[in-house]
Amino acid sequence: MNWQEQRHWNEINEGDPLNPVPFPLTVYRLVMAAGANRDFNAIHHNTEHAQSTGAPEMYANVMLLQGMWERAIREYIGTAGVLHAIRGFRMKSFNTAGDTVTVRGQVERKWIDDSADAARRHRLDLRLWSENRHGVSVGPGLAVVSLPP
């Protein structure tokens, strides 16, 4: 992402794709994420413990996966865009050490929110999902954002 670029609402069309954003899940990334968001449950940083609970391997926690969605959204909307809501976030399968999770999306709806102030009325609904080697692992969900006109 070139953070010097800014998308504008009038340049966007329904159906436009978001650039896919891949996240390799290394052991290091999982351990650092668990520590950063203070989720010290061993299923997120210890293979043996995760396997004892039925998981195939240590796996990403919700905060890390939500952060991946937010990163993909913010890369798309740029620094002047505003993220208003994320809805429908749902984990469907494990995202384990060794996987690469790729966040994908597209513009589902382009609309004007007449109840919002002028700077935030140009809205988009973004359909998002995450994929790993097994298919869709999170979502689909929806993000509501606004862009400069």
Q: Does the pLDDT at position 107 exceed 70?
A: yes
- Rounded CA-CA distance 61/135 in Å is 18
User: 70: part of which helix (H) or strand (E)?
Assistant: helix 62-77
The pLDDT of residue 39 is: 84
Residue 61 has phi, psi (to 5 degrees) of -90, 170
Q: Does the pLDDT at position 12 exceed 70?
A: yes
The pLDDT of residue 1 is: 64
- Rounded CA-CA distance 80/113 in Å is 17
Take residue 119 and report the two structure tokens written for it.
Answer: 């700077």
Q: Does the pLDDT at position 92 exceed 70?
A: yes
28-66 pLDDT per residue, tens:
999 999 889 898 888 898 999 999 999 999 999 999 999
For the domain with range 9-24+63-146, which CATH number is right: 3.10.129.10, 3.40.50.720, 3.40.1360.10, 1.10.10.10? 3.10.129.10
